[in-house]
Amino acid sequence: MGLAVLVDAARQALILAALVSLPVVGIAAVVGLFVAAVQAAAQVQDPTLSHLPRMLAVIAALVAAGPWMGHQIAGFAERTFSMLN
């Protein structure tokens, strides 16, 4: 296994990590912005109120996108291990 193959596998792994984490991070950001806007409109400055909706949204995103994420990671692992043979 040459250096070029290892560099390519590392590049693919970084792209996959970004691709897999993007839906969850995006949903957390959108929910955080929405909760912040509601808190600003209601003039409620309690920082603990923003954590529960964001946590529930992240859990829902993980439940919804989890099978897709697992499939992508398993496919990458299978392709990587098949290169070893």
Which residue shows structure tokens 């993980």?
Answer: 62
Per-residue pLDDT reduced to its tens digit, 55-79: 999 999 999 999 999 999 999 999 9
Per-residue pLDDT reduced to its tens digit, 20-63: 999 999 999 999 999 989 988 988 877 778 889 999 999 999 99
pTM of the entire structure? Answer: 0.80
What percent of the chain is predicted at pLDDT more than 90? 69
Report DSSP state, residue 30. H
Q: What is the pLDDT of residue 1?
A: 67
